[in-house]
Each structure stands twice: as C-alpha cells, then as structure tokens.
Amino acid sequence: MANNFSLLLLRKPTGITSFESLRPVKRHVDKKVGHAGTLDKFAEGLMIVLTGRFTKLNPLLGDLDKRYVATVRFGEETDTLDPEGKVIATAALPSEETVAEVLKRSFTGSIMQSPPQYSAIHIDGKRAYRMAREGIEVHMPSRPVTIHSIRIVGWDGSDMILDVRCSKGTYIRSLARDIARASGSRAHLVALKRTEIGPFRFEDAVDPEDTKALLAHSEGSVDRLMMLDGIGRITVDRESSLRLTYGNLPDARGIILRECGAQDTHAAIFSEEGTLLAVTAIDSTGMPVSVMALPCVRSDG
C-alpha cells in the first residue's frame, strides 16, 4: 500500500464498469476506495478516485463541472440511449445546419433535462434502471442543468461529435436524445469520453492496470488536492501538529501561516515540515471549525 490517503485520476476504459476499474486501486493502493462520479460501461475517460482517509473529501468534488466528447448517432433512439440498448424509434437524419441552430437556440446555458429511465436515480425508493428492466414505465422528473458550451467538432452525415462543457448532474445520453428530437430526428450515444472534471484533465490520468504508474501517481495526491478551488493552506506549529493527531483543531496561537482567501471554505493544514495533517472546514476568518479528513492519523479505528 502506498499511503493511507490518495486523490487519483484514473483512465477508465470502455467495456468495463466503473466499479471494475477500481479493482487495481483496491489491490495496490488502499482497500478503502470512493469515487466522485461514475461512467457508464460503454463510456471511457477521467474518473476521480479517493482512497483511505481521503474518501471523506467526496463533498469537495461533487459540484465540479465536467467536459465530454460525445458521438451522437442520429436516426435511431435506443431505450437506454446508448449502444447497448434496443432501438425503440427511428427518424430521418437532420442536417448539420439544423442541429447547429438547435444547439444555439435551446442547448446553451440553464436548461431543464429529464434523466434517462436507465439510470441509477432513485424513484420511490428503487433504482430507475431496475424498474425499467422490469418493464415498469417510470416518469423521470425534469431538473435544471447548465450547458456552459457545446460545439460540433465532427459530422459524417449520421454521426456527430460534440464537445460539451456542463454542470454536475448532466446526462449526456439525455442531451443526445433531446437535441435529436428538437432537430426532428431521434438519436443515441455510440461513444462517450469524459475529458475534464474541474481542474483535472484526462491527459494527467493514469491507467489503473499500470501498477508502477498508479503507485507513483498516488504520491502526487496532495498537489492535486490543492488544485481545487475553495481550499486554503494553513501551517501550524509542532504542538498543534501533535494535537491534530488526536483530532484536536489548532487555535490561533498555533497557526504559523494562514493563506486563505475570502472565497475559501476549507483549508489543508500542514506541519512546519510540509506534511499534510488535516483538511478542515473554515469560518469566514479562516479559522478551522470542523475536521473533514485526518491523514496524520495512521490507524483506522
């Protein structure tokens, strides 16, 4: 095991579930693993994975915007809105000009979106996809999402490649469905790649099956943590460092340096030697008020 906390960027391949892609991490980094958003089995791309005591930091990652490259096949809509489903509707192919106008008119900014019926959303206490598999037709309530930008980067007459920047909670499968219907057609996704999550990029991620690269990558976890917006930096003296190993927050006398901006809501607390001790919520004055994670505590109870 590399350490007892990691923030990893993984390259999920197509053809396996997100859960399956975490197996090398559990085997080589830490058995305790969490993630900040899954990808469908047919999809590939960037996943943020947290291990050990960093699994408690998931709330810091939940609101990050995302970017995708999506291949939309017009003419056929499937029940799952992806290549693994069965065709339930067909329609004529739209022109590129028609789709471009629809994107400009209706799919930029805040929009209302109905999630796919084949999704993990809970409806009356049950997963929607389980109800769909049982043949139960489920009404999926619309909800607001934000499309920061969407542009056409490829088109061969039936398959269109879109570059999409969007808010959390956006279903690209639903986006493909709705764009096609607004264009007088039907469609489903045939490929999807997540290329960015917040400040993190696919190019900086590692193959989970490359053990050597995975272990080396885990050593950069603190640097990746500090890339997140809203996290300041606090350095404390030796006495406060010791107190933190018992879960006790530092007081003002123990803080040597505080680098927290007005917009920061959390802080990473370091020892004088530069070792990460804790991640805490902070108040408006930059004082720690509650602990989120304590990497400095070496044993789990």
Backbone angles phi, psi at 190, to 5 degrees: -115, -15
Q: Which of 37, 5, 6 is nearest to 21 (CA)?
A: 37
CA distance readout (Å), 27 to 21, 24, 47, 205, 215? 11, 5, 17, 18, 11
- Report the relative pairing of strands 231-236 and 266-270 from DSSP bridges: parallel
Domain identity same for 109 and 171 = yes
Marked catalytic residue, from 40, 82, 163, 300: 40
What local confidence, expressed as pLDDT, does residue 122 receive? 57
* CA–CA separation, 216 and 219 (whole Å): 6
Q: Is residue 99 part of a domain?
A: yes
301 inside domain: no
Residues 192 and 135 placed together within one structural domain of the fold: yes
- 226 lies in a domain? no
pLDDT at 125: 62
Q: Are residues 237 and 283 in the same domain?
A: yes
* 59 and 205 housed in the same domain: yes
Domain assignment present for 298: no
Tokens at residue 17, please?
């579930």
Same domain, 188 and 170: yes
Tokens of 239: 């006495």
CA angle 281, 285, 289 (to 5 degrees): 30
Q: Is 283 a catalytic residue?
A: no
List Cβ neighbours of 223 (8 Å cut-off, separation of 6 or more): none
Residue count of the chain: 301
135 and 172 belong to one structural domain: yes
Q: 96 and 57 in one domain?
A: no
Q: State pLDDT tens for residues 217-230.
A: 999 999 999 999 99
- Residue 51 contacts residue 22 (beta carbons within 8 Å): no
Inter-residue contact 7 to 54 (CB < 8 Å)? yes
CATH of the domain at 30: 3.30.2350.10
- Whether pTM > 0.85 for this model: the answer is yes
Same domain, 120 and 207: no
Does 250 fall in a domain?
yes
Whether 272 and 192 map to the same domain: the answer is: no
Low-confidence ranges of the chain (pLDDT < 70): 1-3, 118-136, 139-140, 297-301
Do 103 and 182 share a domain, yes or no?
yes
- What angle separates helix 96-106 from helix 172-182, to the nearest 10 degrees? 110
Its domain, for residue 282, covers 231-293
- CATH at 254: 2.30.130.10
Confidence at residue 141, expressed as pLDDT on a 0 to 100 scale: 79
